Structure 1
Amino acid sequence: MRSGLAGKEQYNYFMDIEKLTPQELNDLKIRVDRRLREVTGADSRSFAERLSAKDIVELVVFAVKGKAIRCRTLDTGEPLTFRPASGVRSEAEGYILTVRPGKAWSYGRTTYLSGQVLNMRLDIPALKLIPLKLEDEEVWDPREEFWGEEGEPVMDCFKPIIAAGPRPSFEMEQILPGFDPEDPDSDPIGQAVDFYETGEIEKSYTVLQQCLEADWRVLDAHTHLGNWVFGEEPGKWQAEQARRHYAAGVAIGELALGPDFKGVLPWGRINNRPFLRCLHGLGLCFWALGDLQAAGKIFKRMLWLNPGDNQGARFCLLETSAGTSYAESEL
C-alpha cells in the first residue's frame, strides 16, 4: 500500500503556494477542480461539453487576435479560444464578455467556442485581483517643489495643491512577468516596444498579451495597447478602443488607491509611471472623443497625484478648460 508521495511528487504536493504566481495558482486550481470532479463524479463532462450545455458564458479577454479571442471563463478560469459569430470587433483585453454559446469543441489541448457576444463590460472587481501595493511612504512637501521661475506667477491649477500642504507620497507596485532586475533586457515591456519600433507588430502585441495572461495587473501592457491604437491622429473608433485599454489599467490601479486616496504618486518614483501613463492616455481619449469635462477632470487628478507634472497635464487642462477641441490643439 502506498503511504504517500515521494521525491519530486511529494515536493509538488506540499508546494509553498505563497510563492506561486497568480497564473500558477489559477492553473493549480483548474487541475484540482478537474481532479475533484473525477473523484467525486460531480461532472465528468469535458470542458467543451460543459460550455455547450450552458445558456450563457462569461469570458475574460486576455488576447484579441485577428479572427479569435483568447479568454478564460470568469467562474473557473479555464482557458479557451473564442470565435465571435460576428467576428472580432471592439473587444479589448481585461474586459468581460457575456456570450451565448454556439458550438464548442477541442483540438489538441485547446478548447474552442463559437457564439454570440451579448455584452462587454469592464468589471475589475469581478476579476478578484489582489490590489497593487503602495510602498515606501514618504512625505511630499509643496515647499520643495519647483513651481516656475522666480517672479513668475504660479499657475491657478497649482494653487489649491500648494495650499493643501504636505501629503504622503507612495510608489505603486509594478508587475513585470519574467523580469530579472539583474538583466534589463528581460523587461517584457521593453521587448514589446522594441518589436513595435522595428515593425514586428504582431510580436509586440503577443508579448503584451502574454503579460496579461500571466497577470492582469501589468499596467504598462494596458498602456501600450492603448498607445498603439490611439496613434497620432485618432479617429473616433481608435480613440474609443484606446479608451478601453487605458480605462482597464486605470481601474486596476485604482484598486490600490481606494476612493479616499489623498496622497501623491510622483513621476520620479519610476514604478508610478505605468498608472500615470494610463491616466494620461484616458484623458487624451476623452478629449479626442469630445468629452472635455471628463478629460479635464482626469488632467486635474493627474496634477494632484503628480504635482511635478512631467506629462504636461497642466497644458491639457488649460486647453480643455478653454473649450479647445483635440483636433484644434497644438499640443
Structure 2
Amino acid sequence: MKLIDLLHRWTGGLIGLLLALLGLSGAFLVHKNAWTLAPHADDRRLDDISQLATVTQMLMADPASRPQSITYASDDFGLLRLLYTAGKGAYADQHGTVVLQWNSQWERPELWLFDLHHHLFSGDAGKAVVGMAAMCGLFFVVTGLLLWWRTRKTFEWRLVPARMTRPAIIRHHRDLGVVVAPLLLLSLLTGAILVFRPMAALLFGPDAPAQIDRSLAAPPPLTARLAAHLDWARMIVTAQERFPDAELRSLTLPRKDSGLITVRMRRPQEWLPNGRTTLWFAADSGVLVAARDASTLPTSVKGYNLLYPLHAAKVGGLAFRMFMTLSGLALTLLGTLAVWSFWFRRPKRRS
C-alpha cells in the first residue's frame, strides 16, 4: 500500500496540471454549441433535402472557393460549418449565406479550445499525450479508491478544502475523489479508448480493435482526380434516397488522394453526432461507389460508436451535460490542488 501511495502522489504531482487543463477545457466544450456566438446559430435545423441539395451545389460549384468539408446544421446548432485549407473556415446559414469567416483557428475560441483538449496544439503527438494522461487518470481513480478505503470512516463531504493546509487538502482530495469516481471513470476510460483504439478490447473483447478497424475502414482508394464540376446536389439526393430516415451530417472532399468524396449521415438509432452511416462517391464522376449502414455494424463496433457521445455528453440532454461538466470541474480541482499540496505545501523536514 505504501508503494501505491507513493506512485499516486508522485504521478499526480507531475501531471496533475495537465489533467486539470483537460478537465476544464472539457467542461467548456460540453456546452460548446450553447456559447458559440454567431448569427443564426439558434436557427431551427432544416430537413428539406431539396433545400440541402441546392445549398450544397451552390457552395461546392466553384472550384476556386470550394470548401474542403461541410458540416451541416444540427438540432442544437443552426449553422453550416465550412472548412478550407490552411486553417481557414466559415459559418453559413442554411441557405448558404456566409455569416462569419476566420483565417485561423485562433480567431474562434470553440476551435482552438477543441484543438487544445484533443491535441494540445501538437497534432498526433499531442493526442497521444492526452491519451496517456487519461490512462494515468484511470490509475489515479483506482489507486485513490484503494487508499480512501483505509480512511473511509473519516469521510466528510466538502466542495472545497476546509483550509489551504496540506492535511486539509489531502483529506478533501480523497473524499471528493471518491464521490466523483464514477464520472471520472466514464470520462477517462472513454477518452483513453478514443485515443488508443486497442484499449477497446477492455470493454468489447480481444477481437474488437481489429473488428472496429475493418468495419470503419473506407473502400479501397480510386485513381480519380476531383472533377472541376460535379452534380453535388445529385449526391445529396442519392444519399437521402439510400437512407430515407437519416439526417445529413457532412460532406468531405477526398483525402490523401483517395479519390472518394465522403458523405456522412446519422440514422435515428445512432448516438454519434455525425453518425457512422456513410456513402462514398467517385471524385471524377460523382457516382456512388459504396455505402455503409451503421445499423448493420457488429455489436462491438456499435458499442465503440457510443463512446464519443458519452464522453462529450452528446446524449442525455442538459442533465447529462451537467454531470459531465461536474466531472471536468472536479478533475480540474483535484489536479490543481494535488500539484499545490505536493510541490508547495510539503511539510518541512526537521534538521
TM-score, scaled relative to structure 2: 0.23
| Structure with the largest fraction of strand | 1
Give the number of the structure with larger relative contact order, counting CA–CA contacts within 8 Å between residues 6 or more apart. 2
| Structure with the largest fraction of helix | 2
